[in-house]
Amino acid sequence: MSAIVLRLKDRPAVPLEAEVISPDLLAEMPHADIRAQAVYLGKRRLRLDDLFEVEGERSDQVEVHGDLGQVKWLGRGMSRGSLVVHGNAGMHLGAYMRGGRIEVHGSAGDWLGAEMKNGQIRVQGDAGGQVGAAYRGSLSGMRDGTILIGGSAGLEVGMRMRRGTIVIGGRARDFAGLQMKGGTLVLLGGAEIRAGAWMVRGTIISLQPLTLLPTFTYACRYNPDFLRLYSRFLAPLGIELPVAAQQGSYALYSGDASVPGKGEILVWQPV
Amino acid sequence: MGGKVTCTLGEVKNRADFIVFWGGNPAECHPRHFTKYSLMPKGKHVPNGRKDRTVVLVDIRETKSVKAADIFLQVRPGKDFEVLTILRALIKDQAVDPRQVAETGLTLEQLTDLVARMKRAKFGVMFFGMGLSMTRGKHMNSAALLTLAAEMNAFTKFVAMPMRGHGNVTGADVVMRWQTGYPFGINFSRGYPRYNPGEFSTVDLLVRGDADAALILGADPGATMPQPAIDHLARIPTIVLDPKVTHTSRLARVHITTAVTGISAPGTGYRMDEVPIPLRPALKSPYPTDEEVIRRIHEAVCAKPDWIHANGQYTTNQV
């Protein structure tokens, strides 16, 4: 079963909403049907082949090529197969995703993996804001799954996330882990101000010093046992967490007292 | 999370005995606010007027409003969210490190005193201005204040209200809200309203260059928005409806001069507490009203062939 390959002809001038580019939908479809799928360029409904060159059929392996920075909702709600984006991806990539794998060889926009339930998203470049977050007015963000970002990320990463893992390779901007309710947020490159604001539960691990809110209280320095298990889970994904006591230890801060919450922020302190 | 606990200014006048102004300068920006609603007037439950009220001003610098306040709390710039979060912790008797509190520019004693006064009040109001909502943290700063006001209701009656300015912005929010369910940042491109500030809000659309035309009604984004947004407005066909020449009308393709609402055109203005006020024009204007221009544009658009339905397009599953 060879992959379905889509090539974006030109970068659209206004945002293109293409939630049909999802393995679930295209997996059972003959070539002609794939070409006829509806996408929305601004308010105009167009055919998929008006904007993309389409190759292949009946496959849950989907490849998309081109600068898709203006293309929104790729892989929306997908539950199986893989979606590989060669180039940048737009907003809402993998939102409501339930399974499968998304890989982006480029950068992604805001709301990456928003409210996802399972699956894995890997972005080589940077991501926008609200990664794995809850939509406005919604009570919880991602429920499970893994989001790995090589570069930096924007505002409100992991806002109201309930479970699952987000790893940011670079620096995250303000409000990382805002109102977190569970899950784990790993900040390899640290974050700007207000990390963990209003968090109820969940864990933020930072390998760089953080400027915390005054409502977080320093608890102790230690090497938590669960991090050994956690680093074993992250190792196959190519992420290394320092756990050896001779390398250093983690400072534990608990908060956010304003909620009041039982969240924990672990900040790595090398010897 | 979210939600605004609010009331009308009539209630503020008749009941409020504890008033906080956060990040605003009402003495200069809302000069009638003090005398008509918040400070001076004698109300049913505050019979002695100013003497029955405690007024707190929170700002990053001393403004003319300081003289009107009983307590002035000078916060370091960009620390409003921190102070509000500390207050949220303090009202629940949570411990906060005094050294970290000092980084906000205030002492723990000042904030404990404020919390005690807030809890003692019978009816508290928090008015907040652009010093709060337009600094780093933006909507989260407002959310922090609104949440604090909501949580204070565990102890006493407390409400919050934004100090709106710029003509009828409240009216735009209110009308959008009852028509679509959302106040701003709404996208109709799929045939039904979708709300996502950050994605569909005007300034973000323009900064990213997502829009390919703009109709500006009763606003001057050319004077207030960031430069990339203004540059994009100049690139795309922009139509401005405004009684006078503005920064935006100078860079627009089309400027339609309209009558001034409230002076030479009737209409409804919404006060900052969302109470609609009918406006009676005092003068006559040779220019059409905003409403008339929009109605004529709408009629012209309706006369065109219905390409949306002819294209087989209809409302699909909600995204």
Spans of all domains in chain B: 9-162, 169-310
CATH of domain B169-310: 3.40.50.740
What is the per-residue pLDDT for A140?
A: 94
Q: Which of B1, B95, B319 sits opposite A179 (nearest CB)?
A: B1
Say what the pLDDT of residue B308 is: 67
Question: In B, which residues are within 8 Å of A19 by CB distance?
Answer: 319
Question: What confidence tens digit (pLDDT) does each residue in A130-141 have?
Answer: 999 999 989 999
Residue B306 above 60 pLDDT?
Answer: yes
Q: Is the pLDDT of residue B301 over 70?
A: yes
pLDDT score at A2: 87
Are the CB atoms for B125 and B55 separated by under 8 Å? no
What pLDDT score was predicted for residue B318?
A: 43
Measure in Å the smallest separation between the Cα of A242 and chain B Cα atoms.
29
Beta bridge partners of B214: B238
Q: Which of A87-101, B195-209, B217-231, B293-307 has the lowest mean pLDDT?
A: B293-307
On the question of a cis peptide bond just before residue B197, with omega within 30 degrees of 0, the verdict is no
* pLDDT at residue B2 in the model: 58
Q: Do B104 and A214 touch (CB under 8 A)?
A: yes
- Tokens 């569970």 -> residue: A182
Measured between CB atoms, which of A13, A40, A257 is closest to B89? Answer: A257
Chain B residue numbers touching A13 (CB-CB < 8 A): 212
pLDDT tens digits for range B247-270: 999 999 999 999 998 899 998 999
Domain B9-162 has CATH 3.40.190.10: no
B259: DSSP letter: P
Whether residue B316 has pLDDT greater than 90: no
pLDDT band at B314 (very low <50, low <70, confident <90, very high): low
In a domain, A80, yes or no: no
| Interface list for chain B against chain A, based on CB atoms closer than 8 Å | 1-2, 81-82, 85-86, 88-89, 92, 94-97, 100-101, 103-104, 136-137, 140, 188-190, 195-199, 210-212, 308, 311-313, 316, 319
For chain A, how many structural domains are there in total?
Answer: 1
Q: Of A19, A139, A260, which is closest to B89 when you measure between CB atoms?
A: A260
Q: Is residue A222 part of a domain?
A: yes
Searching chain B, which residue's CA lies closest to the CA of residue A155? B137
Give pLDDT tens digits for A69-110. 999 999 999 999 999 999 999 999 999 999 999 999 999 999
**Of the partner residues A137, A175, A213, the one whose CB lies closest to the CB of residue B2:** A137
Interface of A with B (CB under 8 A): 13-15, 17, 19, 38, 40, 42-45, 70, 73, 76, 91, 110-111, 129-130, 135-137, 139, 160, 174-175, 178-179, 193-194, 197-198, 213-215, 217, 256-260
| Residue-averaged pLDDT of chain B | 91
**Residue A239 included in any domain:** yes
Query: Nearest by CB to A214, which of B86, B196, B313?
Result: B86
Band (B3; pLDDT cuts 50, 70, 90): confident
The answer on pLDDT for B1 being more than 70 is: no
On the question of a common fold for B9-162 and B169-310, the answer reads: no
Q: How far apart are CA B152 and CA B168, in angstroms?
A: 30
Q: What is the pLDDT of residue B168?
A: 86
DSSP characters over chain A: -PPEEEEESS--SS-EE-TT-SHHHHTT--HHHHHH-EEEETTEEEEHHHHEEEE--S-SEEEEES-BTTEE-TTTT--SSEEEEES-B-TTTTTT--SSEEEEES---TTTTTT--S-EEEESS---SSTT-PPTT-S----S-EEEESS-B-SSTTTT--SSEEEESS-B-SSTTTT-EEEEEEETT-B-S-TTTT--EEEEEESS-----TT-EEEEEE--HHHHHHHHHHGGGT------TTTEEEEEEEE-TTTT--EEEEEEEE-
- Classify residue A1: in a domain, yes or no: no
- List the one residue out of B117, B112, B123 whose CA is nearest residue B158: B123
Contacts of B198 in chain A (CB under 8 A): 110, 129-130
One digit per residue, the tens of pLDDT, for chain A of length 271 reads 689 999 999 999 999 999 999 999 999 999 999 999 999 998 888 999 999 999 999 999 999 999 999 999 999 999 999 999 999 999 999 999 999 999 999 999 999 999 999 999 999 999 999 999 999 989 999 999 999 999 999 999 999 999 999 999 999 999 999 999 999 999 999 999 999 999 999 999 999 999 999 999 999 999 999 999 999 999 999 999 999 989 999 999 998 999 999 999 999 999 8
Q: Among all chains, which residue has been given the structure tokens 């197969």?
A: A81
Angle between helix B139-152 and B80-91 (nearest 10): 20
User: Domain residues for A153?
Assistant: 107-270
CB pairs under 8 A between A and B: 90
Within a domain: residue A37?
A: no
Q: pLDDT digit string (tens) for B153-191?
A: 999 999 999 998 777 889 999 999 999 999 999 998 888
Q: Is residue A38 part of a domain?
A: no
